[in-house]
C-alpha cells in the first residue's frame, strides 16, 4: 500500500471506488474454484483470468491512482514562489487541498465545494477539516466556500491561483463552459490555473474498461480550446496515470 494509506487520512470514498475490484476478484476466484468440476476447465480458467484482471484493477487504484492518499502535484511550475491565495474548485474531502497546502506552504487556500458527491461518505466541511489536520495544515490557512463551482462567490480577480482535479470534467458541456468562465473571472491577470481531468489510457482501461465515461479527457484539443476561449493560455500540459493536466496563465 502507499505510505499515506496508514497515515490517518480518511478521504471516505465509498467501497465501490476503493475496494470494489477486490470484492469482484474474490467472488470470481471463488466461482472459478467452486465451478472447476461443474463448469469445465475453460470456463473455470476464464473466471480465474477475470479475477486476475479485477485484482490488478484493485492494485492500480491503491498504488497508482492512490485514492486513499493526497493528490500528487503533476508539475513543479504551479505557484512556484508565488504568494497569495489559491482556490481549489471541487475540494471534496481534501486530496487536492492537501496537495497544494503541503507543496506550497507559503499560500493560503480557499476550498470550494457544494459537498453533494454521493461517492464520499459524510461529505462536508468537517471531513475536509479532519484530513487537513492530519496533514498538519493549520485551519487559519484554509477557508471553506460551500458553493456551486459554476457560480463562484468571489470578486473579480480575487485569487492568485486556481486548481481543480477531476471535478470540472464531471459537468456537462454547458457546465464546463460556465465554470471555466468563472475561473477566468476570479483569477488575477497573470494568475495560474492548474486543471486535472480524467483521461483514458492503459491504466484506466485496465481499471474501468467499458465503464469509462468522462471521455472529454481523451481530446486535449477540447480542453485547450475551451481554456483559450476564456483567455487562459496553456503554458504546459502533460499526462499522469489515468489523467491529463493543463497549466494555464490568465492573459492580461
pLDDT in tens, 155-178: 999 999 999 999 999 899 999 999
> Which secondary-structure segment (H or E) carries 28?
helix 20-34
Query: What's the rounded mean pLDDT across residues 111-131?
Result: 93
Model confidence band, residue 1 (pLDDT cutoffs 50, 70, 90): very low
144 vs 139: CA distance, rounded Å: 10
Residue 235's pLDDT is 97
Would residue 5 count as lying in a domain? no
Would you say residue 195 lies in a domain?
yes
Q: What is the pLDDT of residue 36?
A: 64
For residues 46 and 120, membership in a common domain is answered with: no
Is 90 in a helix, a strand, or coil?
coil
* Domain identity same for 196 and 97: yes
**How many C-beta neighbours within 10 Å does residue 239 have?**
13
At 219 the pLDDT is 62
Does residue 8 come out as left (phi exceeding 0), alpha (psi in the -120 to 50 range) or beta? Answer: left
| Reported confidence tier of residue 213, pLDDT bands at 50, 70, 90 | low
Asked whether the predicted pLDDT for residue 5 surpasses 50, the reply is no
Are residues 192 and 91 part of one domain? yes
State residue 2's pLDDT score: 39
Domain span at 59: 11-65
Percent of the chain with pLDDT over 70: 90
Model pLDDT, residue 19: 86
128 vs 175: CA distance, rounded Å: 24
pLDDT at 216 over 80: no
The tens digit of pLDDT for each residue in 6-41 reads: 478 999 888 888 888 899 888 888 888 776 666 677
Cβ 87 vs Cβ 110: under 8 Å: yes
Residue 54 host element (H or E): helix 41-59
CA dihedral sign, ordered 215, 9, 143, 236: negative
In this structure, are 151 and 216 located in the same domain? yes
The rounded mean pLDDT for the chain is 89
Residue 67: what pLDDT? 82
Can you tell me whether residue 123 is helix, strand or coil?
A: coil
Q: Report how far residue 118's alpha carbon sits from residue 243's, in angstroms, rounded to the nearest whole number.
A: 22
51 and 159 in one domain? Answer: no
Pairing of strands 85-89, 243-250: unpaired
Closest CA to 25 of 63, 45, 54: 54
Cα(185)–Cα(164) distance, integer angstroms: 15
For the record, the C-alpha cell of 249 comes out as: 496563465
Average pLDDT, stretch 175-189?
Answer: 97
- Could you say which DSSP state residue 213 is in? -
Kindly state the percentage of the chain with pLDDT values over 90: 59
Quick one: cell of 112? Answer: 470550494
Higher pLDDT, 49 or 186: 186
One domain for residues 46 and 105: no
Q: What is the mean pLDDT of residues 93-97?
A: 96
Indicate if 47 and 128 belong to the same structural domain. Answer: no
Amino acid at each position: 500500500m502507499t505510505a499515506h494509506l496508514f497515515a490517518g487520512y480518511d478521504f471516505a470514498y465509498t467501497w465501490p471506488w476503493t475496494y470494489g475490484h477486490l470484492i469482484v476478484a474474490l467472488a470470481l476466484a471463488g466461482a472459478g474454484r467452486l465451478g472447476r468440476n461443474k463448469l469445465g476447465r475453460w470456463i473455470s480458467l476464464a473466471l480465474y483470468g477475470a479475477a486476475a484482471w479485477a485484482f490488478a484493477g484493485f492494485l492500480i487504484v491503491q498504488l497508482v491512482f492512490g485514492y486513499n492518499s493526497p493528490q500528487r502535484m503533476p508539475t513543479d511550475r504551479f505557484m512556484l514562489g508565488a504568494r497569495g491565495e489559491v482556490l481549489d474548485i471541487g475540494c471534496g474531502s481534501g486530496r487536492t487541498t492537501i496537495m497544494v497546502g503541503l507543496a506550497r506552504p507559503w499560500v493560503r487556500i480557499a476550498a470550494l465545494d457544494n459537498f453533494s458527491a454521493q461517492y464520499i461518505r459524510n461529505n462536508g466541511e468537517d471531513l475536509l477539516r479532519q484530513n487537513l489536520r492530519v496533514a498538519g495544515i493549520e485551519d487559519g490557512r484554509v477557508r471553506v466556500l460551500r458553493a456551486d463551482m459554476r457560480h463562484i462567490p468571489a470578486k473579480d480577480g480575487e485569487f492568485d491561483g486556481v486548481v481543480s482535479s477531476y471535478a470540472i470534467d464531471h459537468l456537462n458541456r454547458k457546465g464546463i463552459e460556465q465554470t471555466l468562465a468563472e475561473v477566468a473571472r476570479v483569477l488575477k491577470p497573470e494568475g495560474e490555473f492548474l486543471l486535472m481531468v480524467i483521461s483514458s489510457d492503459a491504466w484506466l482501461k485496465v481499471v474501468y474498461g467499458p465503464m469509462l465515461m468522462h471521455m472529454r479527457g481523451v481530446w486535449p484539443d477540447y480542453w485547450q480550446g475551451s481554456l483559450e476561449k476564456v483567455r487562459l493560455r496553456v503554458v504546459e500540459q502533460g499526462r499522469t496515470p489515468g489523467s491529463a493536466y493543463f497549466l494555464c496563465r490568465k492573459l492580461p
